[in-house]
Structure 1
């Protein structure tokens, strides 16, 4: 027993090792390393949940949801669409946003987007959701607050991602992205049948990969975690106040309990149900586009060798 207590005390002492490492780094130049520590070691589950809420915010904008609904990707290949979205973001950042692997992933995303007429302000808004979603989640339910170095690093990677997508005039601070998101939603959030259809399809995807005991309540829990403007824009039913409070308090208690957990030793990577044996970049994208996307990549490779 004494040995176990000693071991736990040592683990507790290491709980803030990553934070000390983050504070010793320069977020302007070491942003990739800070993001790796934050998203893959310190808050892996929270980062994924915040990203999931970010996806939902996109559906609150009818012009975005109608386009996504027309593609029928969520209804016909919902799990692949979800996995591919996560994996492209992972590919873009795992070796650093300006690595060869990172550039290849963003190039792939640009090729997919190139098949559609997407206004720049919508692209900027979707990008803003990918930073605001995780930061808000961790602020509400994480085991510790995010450090200012982490906020700067996340903003730097997000902005560079957007620059590689060709988006102009992006913010240079987290607060700037938050204001962009708030302003856009104030003008563009509105109920639409396509919003609701995509939200329900996404909840079904989440239910399919959730642990069995969680599945019966997953839809209600997901709605309980939404702010009112988002819930109303998605056309989802209001949940009882006691239930919303219970869900949110439960998540805050989880965060407090994690303060006593040992730091994660291995980095977290998304386990894609679509690719149980692993994926390649050439696998990612709508099935209807894969042949054209991969032919374009082969042409680029031949030109690079010439």
Structure 2
């Protein structure tokens, strides 16, 4: 199967009307691992904003149920991608997200910032570590998809282009990134969960690997030690080597869903979308793990 299968299919679609299908092709078929990694990194970095990380820490969800937080967020966000915004599943997933958000006083600015990371970080990740970068056509579809998600979440004053999302994210981080003890605890719990996805001897190396992918201003905001330029070059070199190898492999013909990944562990017997997440402010959580 030709390696450019999904790029050609996306090129044949309209980025302003078929954006769900384009992003679905990128996420479920062509860049499954890359999109998962980049969106996880996108959400992780939001903990460095004290109003976000501190609030997440107060819910105790990360300390007590980090795996479930990870799983529920992935499954709820995937519902509109797989089934469409107007489907029963898509509406259920977004409704559950909105119900959790409404339990807390979250500013529109914070919600808009989190959404901006969904647009910007995947592109930057694929530019650096993907077997190919996104086309302008696909970037436009990404903007349209996440803007649609934002509208369904009631987020106001959304940017209209990738560059506008990029400037929003970068400016917000320059202004708001700061050390917060609660945000650090949330980040630590998330990294600890990541380590559990690998055999015990790899726990420490995976922690270092993760920190090597963080920019200096993100490391500083969490108070994390920089692993150093040699480690950073080795980690990024390994990801670029992976990208070169992937150029020689055929395109995926079967989709990979979140529940197909061994990282999703809370529901071995299936799940009900309407039952995912939290339902009481005492244990609820407004943003992603």
Post-superposition offset of 1:63: 1.0
Query: Is the counterpart of residue 276 in structure 1 residue 271 in structure 2?
Result: no
Q: How many Å separate the matches in 2 of 1:134 and 1:40?
A: 14
Are 2:62 and 1:74 aligned? yes
Deviates more, 1:127-136 or 1:54-63: 127-136
Q: 1:241 to 1:291 in 2, by over 3 A?
A: closer
Aligned partner of residue 255 in structure 2, secondary structure = coil
The answer as to whether partners of 1:195 and 1:233 remain within 8 angstroms in 2 is no
Query: How many Å separate the matches in 2 of 1:134 and 1:277?
Result: 31
Q: Hey, what's the Cα distance between the residues in 2 that align with 1:90 and 1:211?
A: 27
Contact kept, 8 Å, 1:96 with 1:102, in 2: the verdict is yes
Structure 2 unaligned segments of length 5 or more: list them.
285-289
Which gives a bigger RCO, structure 1 or 2 (Cα 8 Å, sep 6+)? 2
Rg: which structure is higher?
1
Alignment of 1:155-166 (within 5 A): 155-166=143-154
Partner Cα separation in structure 1 for residue 219 and residue 193 of structure 2: 18
Alpha-carbon displacement from aligned partner over 1:224-262 (angstroms, at most 9, x marks no partner): 000111111111111121011000000011011100111
Structure 1 segments (4+ residues) deviating >6 Å:
289-292
Corresponding position of 1:7 = none
Deviations 1:259-285 (A, max 9, x none): 011111111111320111221112311
> 1:210 deviation in Å?
3.0
Listed one character per residue, the Cα deviations across residues 62-81 of structure 1 (whole Å, up to 9, x for unaligned) are 11111000000000000001
**Contact 1:75–1:201 at 8 Å: present in 2 too?**
yes
Q: Distance in 1 between matches of 2:271 and 2:88?
A: 17
* Aligned counterparts, 1:1-306, within 5 A: 11=1, 14-210=2-198, 214-271=202-259, 272-286=264-278, 288=280
> Is residue 195–residue 235 contact of structure 1 (8 Å, CA) maintained in 2?
no
SS in 2 for 1:94: helix
Instruction: Give the C-alpha shift of residue 287 in structure 1.
Output: 6.4
How far the C-alpha of 1:195 sits from its partner, in A, is 2.0
Backbone CA RMSD of aligned residues? 1.8
2:257 is paired with a residue of what secondary structure? coil
**Counterparts of 1:217 and 1:276, CA distance in 2:** 28
Q: 2:83 is paired with a residue of what secondary structure?
A: coil
TM norm structure 2: 0.93
| Offset of residue 212 of structure 1 | 5.4
2:287 equivalent in structure 1: none
